[in-house]
Amino acid sequence: MRDQDLARREEVSESPTMRELAMVLFRQRKVFLGVAGLIFVLATVYAIAGVNYRAHLRVMVRRGRAYPPVAAQENAPPDFSRAEVTEEELNSEVELLKDDDVLRRVVEANDLAAHDWLRWLRPHEGQAARVERAARKLAGRLEVESIKKTNLIAVSYGAPDRNWRRACCGR
pLDDT tens string 116-164? 777 777 778 888 888 998 899 889 888 999 998 888 999 998 877 666 6
Residue 37 lies inside a defined structural domain of this protein: yes
DSSP calls for 20-49: HHHHHHHHTHHHHHHHHHHHHHHHHHHHHH
pLDDT at 11 > cutoff 60 = no
Statement to judge: residues 152 and 122 lie in one domain: yes
What CA–CA distance (Å, rounded) separates 65 from 123? 48
Residue 70 lies inside a defined structural domain of this protein: no
Statement to judge: residues 38 and 58 lie in one domain: no
Statement to judge: residues 92 and 19 lie in one domain: no
pTM, rounded to two decimals: 0.58
Statement to judge: residues 22 and 96 lie in one domain: no
In a 13 Å sphere around the CA of 40, the CA atoms on its Cβ side amount to 6
Residue 100 lies inside a defined structural domain of this protein: yes
Residue 77 lies inside a defined structural domain of this protein: no
Q: Are strands 152-159 and 53-60 parallel, antiparallel or unpaired?
A: antiparallel
Residue 157 lies inside a defined structural domain of this protein: yes
Angle, alpha carbons 138-64-110 (nearest 5°): 25
- Note down the domain range covering 42: 7-49
Statement to judge: residues 25 and 42 lie in one domain: yes
The larger pLDDT score, comparing residue 83 to residue 122, is at: 122
What CA–CA distance (Å, rounded) separates 137 from 141? 7
Q: What is the pLDDT of residues 23-48, one digit of tens each?
A: 888 888 899 899 999 999 999 988 78
- Amino acid in the structure at residue 113: A
Nearest to 103 by CA among 168, 11, 41: 168
Count of the separate structural domains present in the chain: 2
Angle, alpha carbons 138-103-122 (nearest 5°): 60
